[in-house]
Amino acid sequence: MKNYPAVLLLAILTSALAVPTASACTALMITDKKGNAYSAKTMEYAIPMPFEMSYVPAGTKVVSVAPGNKTGLSFETKFPVLGVSADVGIGNGINMMVESANNQGLSISTNELPGSQSPAGAGSDAAKALATTDLGLYLLGSFKSVAEVKGALQGGAFSVWVPKVPLVGNIEAPFHYILFDKTGEGIVIEFLDGKMNVHDNPVGVVTNAPDFPWHLKNLNNYAQLTNVDKNSGQFGQLKVGAPDSGNTLASVPSSQISAGRFVKAAFYTQFVRKADSPEDAVITLGHIMNNFDRPYDLSIDKGYSAEGGAPGSTTSEVTLFTWMNDKSRNLYFLRTIDALNFAKFEIDKLAPIKSVVKVPLEKISDTQLDGTQILLGAAGN
């Protein structure tokens, strides 16, 4: 594990001791008029986290970890993987891929899901054991589509287990895993109730707890939502008219809790106009994600302990970064809390890099928006 500042480590290691824990990450996917898919995610946390932009080239050999710190599944990446990662304190030295994509149009996001736990017997065969901290790298490094991932998860060639993670207080990795491919197909992988659950994603949206099926059922409570304004009405003999447009949004949840964000994200992905071109689609996606961006102190939790905050402290979750993935053109966009604009990464141009490269997110800002050159420079290319 890296030598993080003592204050940061204390906050990280105590964050998981707070019950309950708040979290505010929003992942979603849209398509353009031609059916090309574009995914995005905001990452919220109450303290700085040791995130890095990482590139893992094809041909990278990886050995996962099995229960009891034994040697787990060995694999070699077939496809390069690019994205935000973190050293979570276990494994083989290769970071956990947090928000990442490969060059086949497949992406993964990790959102917090408290209560995650290993399925019964998972990882008992060490040679097949794949820790969830390596799940993103394995899936993106091995497969081209959601359909292929679903087949592999059901095939029995590996067994996914949930390790305890030092970075989040040494509890079982509290995440669910969101995958989208360039056709717009999506799944959500959750480890609850003693088993691995793989859910199809018909709405292209995922937030946090409760479990994903709960959020789908909750949408039944919002069947009335529409993007068509009602601009006239009558009270007794008084006829009235709206002074402005946009009243249809009055019924869309405005809170930043998980349930509200899920409904709001589903509303935006359903009704926002589909773009004519990839360039317009990326701009459209950026506008959508702005509605989930959280600056410092937008909301403050006193004693509740927002995600990453120490128990009993006053905390405020902020959007540490927003990322977007143009799946048809293999482009990756990243904006940190300290930036106004997105840095762009072109996965295909990173092919000259032959070993794993990692760059701290604080080095990616408005002054360096060509993320591709940042990684090539870090690799000495």
| Domain assignment present for 266 | yes
| Domain assignment present for 62 | yes
Q: What is the CATH number of the domain that holds 282?
A: 3.60.60.10
For residue 307, what pLDDT is reported?
A: 58
| Domain assignment present for 293 | yes
| Domain assignment present for 252 | no
For residue 2, what pLDDT is reported?
A: 40
User: Coil, strand, or helix at residue 324?
Assistant: strand
For residue 8, what pLDDT is reported?
A: 41
How many structural domains comprise the chain?
1
| CA–CA distances in Å: residue 162 to residues 91, 117, 159, 174, 207 | 12, 6, 10, 9, 20
Short-list 49, 26, 112, 15, CA closest to 306:
15
| Domain assignment present for 244 | no
For residue 5, what pLDDT is reported?
A: 42
pLDDT tens by residue, 117-159: 999 999 999 999 999 999 999 999 999 999 999 999 999 999 9
Question: Do 107 and 145 touch, CB atoms closer than 8 A?
Answer: no
For residue 301, what pLDDT is reported?
A: 82
| Domain assignment present for 237 | no
Q: In the structure encoding, which two tokens stand for residue 223, read together?
A: 């069947």
Query: In the chain, which stretches have pLDDT less than 70?
Result: 1-23, 303-309, 367
| Domain assignment present for 248 | no
The residue segments making up the domain with residue 292 are 6-212+257-378
| Domain assignment present for 361 | yes
Short-list 13, 8, 23, CA closest to 115:
23
For residue 168, what pLDDT is reported?
A: 86
